[in-house]
Amino acid sequence: MDQTVLVTGGASGIGLAVAERVLNEGGRVAIVDREPESIARTRNHLDHAGDRVRFDTLDVTNEAEIERVVKAIDAAFGPLTGLVNSAGIAQDVPFFETTAAQFRKIYDVNVVGTFLVSKAAAIAMRGRRHGAIVNISSVSGLRGNLGRAAYGSSKGAVVTLTQVMAVELAPLGIRVNAVAPGPVETPMVAALHTSATREGWIGEVPMKRYSTPDEIAGTICHLLDDTRSSYVTGQIIAVDGGFTAGGLIGG
């Protein structure tokens, strides 16, 4: 895989699984995350990758820092070919208990952050007339899940943003798709899901389990690869164990 891929939120969970897959397939990865401690831990974990991986701390809402990082990637690795917008935050808060501050913070990271990083990456890609962007939505952006007024609607916004980007960037040779995971065994989910939450999800997912980050990463890497998905753009792919297909699944 002759790719240079920027992964936001790449120090854990789905982002880290994507980075590992790209490296295992011979590509180059730029991992960015907002937590220096997470970056340091991931640097040690991926020490074997040598000069095919680089790391930066990044707040995805900081436009100037995003531009700096994208330019640094170009200088170190050459032209950017892929972007995975995995950085995101979540909360499980009932509608009446959700504050305006919580709502704004989630939108700032999940929607504005996705937009800003995508814009900088697309500017870098458009001169090559080639590239792929994969955004991370959620099944909570496709269904009205309890406690997801802010998080779910932000991920719904990512769906529409993905479709608009796909239409506008297609003439430049840049494909844009989104993956909408169901419940995934990530650190963020571990911190958010109670035992009752887990029981609820498993009761509604036909496959009766959470996914692994690598299962989500497999679909993401498929969408990054022009040899496997060259005519796929503007799609929202649910990787959810059948959750969005389910109706009455109990007996």
Question: Would you name the residues annotated as active-site residues?
Answer: 151
What DSSP state is assigned to residue 168?
Answer: H
Token duo for residue 181:
């995971």
Token duo for residue 2:
């002759």
| Rounded Cα gap, residues 68 and 72, in angstroms | 6
Q: Are 119 and 169 spatial neighbours (Cβ–Cβ below 8 Å)?
A: no
**Closest by CA position to 98, among listed 148, 35, 31:** 148
CB-side neighbour CA atoms (13 Å) of 216: 30
**Closest by CA position to 105, among listed 57, 139, 61, 146:** 61
Q: Are 82 and 8 spatial neighbours (Cβ–Cβ below 8 Å)?
A: no
The identity of residue 2, as a single letter, is D
Q: Are 133 and 83 spatial neighbours (Cβ–Cβ below 8 Å)?
A: yes
Residue with tokens 């500017």: 123
Token duo for residue 185:
């065994």
- For 163, residues 6+ apart whose C-beta sits below 8 A from its C-beta are 234, 236
Q: Are 82 and 133 spatial neighbours (Cβ–Cβ below 8 Å)?
A: yes
